[in-house]
Amino acid sequence: MINPFLKTEWLREGRNIRLPLMIIFYIAIMAFIMILFMVFNEESFQQGYYYNTTTYQYQFLIISTFQIVAVVLLTPFNVSRLYIVDKEKNMLEQFEMLPGMPFQYVTAKMFLVLAVHALLFISGLPVSALSCIYTGISGIKLVRLGLMILLYAFWSGTISIFFYTVCSKSVWAFASTIFVQLMFGIGTLMLAEAFRNGSLMMSGSGRIAPEVVAVCLVLLALNPLSSYMGFYGSITGDIGLFGTFCSHLGIDTSDKWFILLFYKMSNLVCLLTGIVFLVLSIWYMDRRKRT
């Protein structure tokens, strides 16, 4: 049986002018960035400047980073549009009379968020594919980029859906979403730094305790930036400042187990975090329905 909420929301979103405008601006920005790179490269070759071919991969990385950042920035606004109509017209109270409503309602919102970002990725695929060919990047990286976009859309979407489900005011829901995302992104880094400093102060040897290193590793796995750094490292072969920060925490990024497992675990943790927020949203709506 087709989810009636998903069908209704998809028709509503498809008939709204905001979605095609979003796609147009999304593709236009990507195309503009790509054209700038091509013009810059051509001028460099014509004037005889030395041009390092490794910068090509960074050009693809900039375009893919724009796509990933767009997911995190646009998702709270997309979820806000999905909830604001129902809240303004007090439709949630009427929906709660339907059997199985919490699960269908929340999953419909989530599937629509994933569908919108998948549509944006597919719409920008010609530009991404051109960048991939132009910079000599393997097509596997393009597939991985699509999976990363869906992963971040799921992570950010579930957090947004949870707070828009719990909070009665859209302003508080939006603020809470941004705050929690910042806590995952920046708060975990600050907390890891606090554990490191505390360990150094308590130990007279000037070395970080192995238990603290393990805690810092868990905190970094909770950080969604770790998933991105795995993608970054697969393109450039180096994790840059992230590797320096890990070494600062006593984590050996050159260890084969770290390379083999950490980034996969960070992707899994990102997925599990989204599942937890999704389950909490369904549980909260089900509890509110019973009361």
Q: What is the DSSP string of 192-258?
A: HHHHHHHHHHH-TTS---HHHHHHHHHHHHHSHHHHHHHHHHHHHS--HHHHHHHHHTT--TTSHHI
**Residue 51 has which token pair?**
């041009």
CA 91 from centre of chain: 30
Please, which pLDDT band fits residue 248 given cuts at 50, 70 and 90?
confident
Q: Mean of the pLDDT values across residues 147-159?
A: 94
pTM for the model: 0.89
> What does the pLDDT read at residue 150?
94
- Rounded mean pLDDT of the chain? 84
177-226 pLDDT per residue, tens: 999 999 999 999 999 889 888 888 887 667 888 888 889 899 999 999 98
> What does the pLDDT read at residue 98?
67
229 to 44, 56, 178, 203, 262: CA distances (angstroms): 30, 18, 21, 31, 11
> What does the pLDDT read at residue 45?
59
Number of helical (H) and strand (E) elements in the chain, helices listed first: 14, 0
Q: How far apart are CA 88 and CA 4, in angstroms?
A: 20
Q: How far apart are CA 215 and CA 192, in angstroms?
A: 8
- Dihedral sign (CA 46, 52, 57, 60): negative
Q: How far apart are CA 214 and CA 250, in angstroms?
A: 9
Please, which pLDDT band fits residue 5 given cuts at 50, 70 and 90?
confident
